[in-house]
Amino acid sequence: MTAAAPAVEAEPARRGIHLPSAYTILFILIVAVAIATWIIPAGRYDYNDDGTPIPGTYHGVEQSPARIIADSLTAPINGLYGITGADGSISYYNSGELFGAIDVALFILVIGGFLGVTMQAGAIQAGIGRVVESLRGRERLMIPILMALFALGGTTFGMAEESLAFYVLVITVMVAAGYDSLTGAAILLLGCGIGVLGSTINPFATGIASGFAGTGIDEGLIGRLVILVIGWAVGVWWVMRYAARIKVDPARSLIAADRAEIDAHFSATSDVDGQAAGMTGRQKIVLGLFFLAFVVMIIGVVPWADLGIQRIPTHYWWFPEMTASFLLFAILIGFAARSSETNFVESFVNGARDLLGVALIIGIARGVTVIMTNGQITDTILNSAEQAVSGLGGVAFINLMFGLFLPLSFLIPSSSGLATVAMPIMAPLASFANVPPELVVTAYQTGNGLVNLVTPTSAVVMGGLAIARVGYGTWIKFVWPLLVILAILCMAVMSIAVLLG
């Protein structure tokens, strides 16, 4: 079996509303934003040297509308390269970070090669057989356990794009246990997503936003912890409810029309018991290296020093380092499996080819922001939000703030990018409504976290669904009632905090 290939959503046999593929949806969004640059006035804030906007300095600038056809076609390419200006300049939400998505795309391709080499050795197939055998009759326990682990990654270091490396493994386990690929995708998307939504010490969301709000990362921690725990419990209930339903009646699966083909793609083996019994020593070594690769990634990514942990060195890894690490482990696995040079190269290239579609989706998604940046309408939208929350009472203020962060998060899905451009403007407004600034941080991260569970501009959502071979419309149908529950939870916790404060 090779790594899961992202595919355009197949035309289902059943009748009903059918949304176009992820690629088409994103291109439509790019064109829509390009048209918006002709309608929305261009404007900018003045910026500090560190790239943060200065509240009250918004001013109109000369309109720079996009060329509807030409810029829409080049936006995905520029999104990969990181080109946002007509002069070829590179920026990322004015924060000084690299804008381009090429680092994420290359990470995905190397992950595909890494998975291809591992699959060629048969270690994952045999390991899955062991897991399924040991949990026979108790497969449902995997759902809360895995979602807790991924939520822990989300709440501590903002686990998002990194989770794309786990999709093939988790989905394959779920399919082998009798569930569908949507169940596996939900475990990851909701596990990591709810963790980010309830970020407690996440330095890339809570940390950056708290810094711009002039408050400590520990301020408002109790409320965010409540959102995390209750949100995780609700998410687990939602996934387990769906999983139990389709286990009893497979026809109730939301991907029932395509499930046979999808299950066949992800089936690790036609003889799970035989694989489990026949696991060799070499396969055990390969499987050990496989999991060690993820442990190394987590150790390298987490900013331990920022969390007050000194015993573990902080390396501040990002995608170049993670990509190199997985490339190294792919080579080590090739040696451990005693693959020939020809087999190693073929399995690596085939695995990378399987995830090429995911890499393309990432570039297209980033193209939306390229159009907004070049059209200089991002600051105009932020200024409108600034004006909307002025002069409100505490409860109304914090809930409207939460509501404003929803569309802003759709336009700027990056948690650190949104914090950089929005918090310096939004946080000072809290004092006029007698609202603690840490609640603005909570409103920002919950709004951003909620939207990033579904936004088509997110590489995690579109890439993860592509790997799972689940259509975007199917995901929306599955998750929208849960989004309503989570939104009510967030607003209730923040409103209570305002009243108690």
206 touches 425 (CB < 8 A): no
- Residue 138 backbone class (left: φ over 0; alpha: ψ -120 to 50; beta: rest): alpha
Per-residue pLDDT at 274 exceeds 50: no
353 touches 112 (CB < 8 A): yes
Identify the band that residue 437 occupies on the pLDDT scale cut at 50, 70 and 90: confident
Q: What percent of the chain has pLDDT over 70?
A: 83
- The values of phi and psi at residue 6, to 5°, are -70, 135
| CA 80/CA 78 separation, integer angstroms | 5
The answer to which of 54-63, 266-275, 459-468 has the lowest mean pLDDT is 266-275
Per-residue pLDDT at 92 exceeds 70: no
Q: What is the pLDDT of residue 14?
A: 45
- Structural domain boundaries in the chain: 102-359
DSSP single-letter state for residue 431 = G
Name the most confidently modeled range: 123-127, 175-179, 480-484, 496-500: 480-484
| CA 416/CA 45 separation, integer angstroms | 18
478 touches 182 (CB < 8 A): yes
- Residue 216 backbone class (left: φ over 0; alpha: ψ -120 to 50; beta: rest): beta
Per-residue pLDDT at 98 exceeds 50: no
Identify the band that residue 128 occupies on the pLDDT scale cut at 50, 70 and 90: low
The answer to which of 53-57, 89-93, 429-433 has the lowest mean pLDDT is 89-93
Q: What is the pLDDT of residue 447?
A: 93
Task: Give the residue with greater pLDDT, 468 vs 393.
Answer: 468
The answer to which of 159-173, 198-212, 234-248, 413-427 has the lowest mean pLDDT is 413-427
Task: Give the residue with greater pLDDT, 371 vs 186.
Answer: 186
| CA 162/CA 296 separation, integer angstroms | 12
Q: What is the pLDDT of residue 351?
A: 84
Mean pLDDT of all residues in 51-70: 83
On average, the pLDDT of the chain sits at 80
Q: Which tokens go with 205?
A: 């969301």
DSSP single-letter state for residue 52 = P
| CA 182/CA 4 separation, integer angstroms | 13
Burial of 281 (0-12, 13-18, 19+ CB in 10 A): exposed
Mean pLDDT of all residues in 149-156: 86
Angle between helical axes of 102-121 and 341-354 (0-180°, round to 10):
130
Identify the band that residue 52 occupies on the pLDDT scale cut at 50, 70 and 90: low
216-225 pLDDT per residue, tens = 777 888 999 9
Is 26 strand, coil or helix? helix
| CA 15/CA 147 separation, integer angstroms | 33
